[in-house]
């Protein structure tokens, strides 16, 4: 079993839709969590960190559930420019593991 | 200039050849990582290093070796390349964590990737 698992999608949604991604992790000792975004043929870039209390950055909301060992990302009012692959990342003392990524396509 | 630089950006080689991918950084970070990316599998960690004297295996280290020549340089070697090592390879850096639980720490900064094809 992979340490970090994501629904690979793809998710195809219309502009303005709300879409949610989930990610589960197996190591209960993991300390910190992140969502990265990767555009086609580009390097991943940090979208947001995920805090225990949940956090929001504009249209993006991240949640962490330590008891159930999952993290989530909610995107509201999807834009065409949100089309990308979203990767969850789990850190255990500097060992940074990625999920396989969820592909999102936002259509007009 | 990029903060994390990978060379070469593209390489085609033959089975059995020795290949080295190099990574250098100007961010002053302690931690450096090598990942490979295959379609549908995301990024998989090969090796990581917390400082010059510290090397750690990731989830798929077999067939690879690394060298941390200096704080700013971290090289990945394939001693005898095989076709299933064809992939996109990323180097990344990260600053040290303070206890590993601070918000906003641990961001990875990636190079642009090195595309390796083994025939």
pLDDT in tens, A8-34: 889 999 999 999 999 999 999 998 899
pLDDT digits (tens, 9 = 90+) for B54-91: 999 999 999 999 999 999 999 999 999 999 999 999 99
How does pLDDT run along chain A (108 residues), one tens digit per residue?
678 999 888 999 999 999 999 999 999 999 889 999 999 889 999 999 897 878 999 999 999 999 999 999 999 999 999 999 999 999 988 889 999 999 999 999
Q: What pLDDT shows up at residue B41?
A: 81
Q: Measure the CA–CA gap between A18 and B52, rounded to whole angstroms.
A: 45
Q: What pLDDT shows up at residue B42?
A: 86
Q: Measure the CA–CA gap between B113 and B119, rounded to whole angstroms.
A: 19
Torsion angle, alpha carbons of A18, A61, A64, A4, to 10 = 60
Residue of A nearest to B42 (CA): A100
Which residues of chain B approach chain A closer than 8 Å at the C-beta?
31, 33, 35, 40-45, 48, 50, 56, 58-59, 90, 92, 94, 97, 100-108, 110-113
Helix (H) or strand (E) holding B45: strand B42-51
Q: What pLDDT shows up at residue A12?
A: 96
């Amino acid at each position: 079993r992979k340490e970090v698992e994501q629904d690979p999608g793809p998710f195809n949604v219309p502009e303005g839709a709300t879409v949610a991604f989930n990610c589960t992790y197996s190591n209960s000792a993991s300390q910190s969590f992140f969502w990265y975004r990767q555009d086609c043929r580009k390097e991943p870039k940090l979208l947001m960190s995920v805090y225990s209390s949940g956090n929001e950055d504009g249209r993006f909301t991240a949640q962490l559930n330590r008891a159930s060992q999952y993290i989530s990302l909610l995107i509201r009012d999807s834009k065409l420019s949100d089309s990308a692959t979203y990767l969850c990342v789990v850190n255990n003392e500097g060992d940074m593991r990625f999920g396989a990524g969820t592909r999102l396509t936002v259509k007009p | 200039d990029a903060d994390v630089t990978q060379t070469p950006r593209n390489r085609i080689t033959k089975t059995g050849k020795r290949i080295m991918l190099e990574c250098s950084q100007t961010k002053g970070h302690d931690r450096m990582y090598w990942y490979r990316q295959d379609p549908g599998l995301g990024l998989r960690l090969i090796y990581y290093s917390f400082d010059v004297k510290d090397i750690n295996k990731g989830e798929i280290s077999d067939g690879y070796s690394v060298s941390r020549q200096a704080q700013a340089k971290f090289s990945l070697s394939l001693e005898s390349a095989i076709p299933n090592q064809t992939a996109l390879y990323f180097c990344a850096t990260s600053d040290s964590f303070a206890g590993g639980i601070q918000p906003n720490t641990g961001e990875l900064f990636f190079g642009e990737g090195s595309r390796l094809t083994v025939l």
